[in-house]
Structure 1
Amino acid sequence: MRTFRMVTLWRLPAERTAVWEALADVRGWPRWWPGIEAVELLEPGDDAGLGRTARLTVDSGLGYRLTFTVRVTQVDEGRGLTARSIGHLVGTGHVVLADTTFPRGVGTAVTTVWEVALTRWWMRPLVPLGAPVLRRRHDVVMRRGERGLQEQLRRR
């Protein structure tokens, strides 16, 4: 299976602690992240989130949904995590939060790197020609998440 490496950078005008808390509340993602249709928490993990396991359903925007389970395998509380994904997406993701500055104060940069393969039988033959489209759809879903989280953090 061909693996995709997708890198996303979010710049959020909020303190890292607030961003971490919002991201740690995976059941709340559908409230602010368009495209995330459902999150089912399967295992809460420990106090830091290690072992947290959730099943996500994501609308691709192309007429199909992806369902996959993500399990947190490493945590640097407040700074980042590593997770494994199984289901329609199989692979590893890394999320790193870092302090950054904005014209009006502090902010947080969130870098997400996913290396995943698609497992749906009908998608695999399309991967060689469809990779650019799949990457663009990923970027759209992630941009919508960034905007949604910015709004969520503003409301707090």
Structure 2
Amino acid sequence: MTAHEHILSRPGESTVFHLDSTWWIPAAEDRVWEVLAEISSWSQWWHGMTRSLRRDGTAWLEVRSPLGYRLNLVLTLLSETPRHSARFTVDGDLRGVGSVLTAAHGSGTRVDIMWCVVTRRRLIGRFRLLARWAHAVVMAAGRRGLRRATES
């Protein structure tokens, strides 16, 4: 698990979800970061990402879950080391923190993504195993899309 400032649930929120993903992308770290940094294009290559817009240090995302619900998220950049790492807060249907770390790994790039979040959406909080499965499906689609996007 990536180190992070742990968040605490507030009244009416689910217990904390720690969601970690590790991707290996067969492209140079600079190319991977270039595609990831262009958040406004995520909805073009990430299946399930139905809206992505970035202005300054804030991004607005809409994610369609394989279970049929949609999540609206607002990401605010906290810190960035260009071509290597970014930390951000998330608000909207989820609240918490996240990070992305990239590192050259063999003939490609390792991408570590961490979310420490809670939700006020009762069904998501109640059906944790299904929510974790849905997250894994969306993240696998992101990995496949990023692989394709870094080929061009």
Shift of 1:118: 1.1
User: Gapped runs of 5+ residues in structure 2?
Assistant: 1-12
The count of residues paired between Structure 1 and Structure 2 equals 139
Q: TM-score, normalised by structure 1?
A: 0.85
Structure 2 match to 1:85 = 90
Which letter maps to 2:38?
D
Which letter maps to 2:46?
W
- Tell me which stretches of 4 or more aligned residues in structure 1 moved more than 4 Å: none
Mapped pair 1:127 → 2:128: no
SS in 2 for 1:113: strand
Structure 2 match to 1:47 = none
User: Residues 78 and 97 of structure 1 are in contact (CA less than 8 Å); yes or no, is this contact kept in structure 2?
Assistant: yes
Mapped pair 1:147 → 2:152: no
Shift of 1:127: 2.3
Shift of 1:76: 1.1
Q: Distance in 2 between matches of 1:152 and 1:134?
A: 27
Structure 2 match to 1:94 = 99
Mapped pair 1:74 → 2:79: yes
SS in 2 for 1:28: helix
User: Gapped runs of 5+ residues in structure 1?
Assistant: 45-51
SS in 1 for 2:17: strand
Identity of aligned residues (%): 32
Alpha-carbon deviations, 1:106-154, whole Å to 9, x = none?
200000010001122x43xx624x1111001101000000001101111
Q: TM-score, normalised by structure 2?
A: 0.88
SS in 2 for 1:62: coil
SS in 1 for 2:27: coil
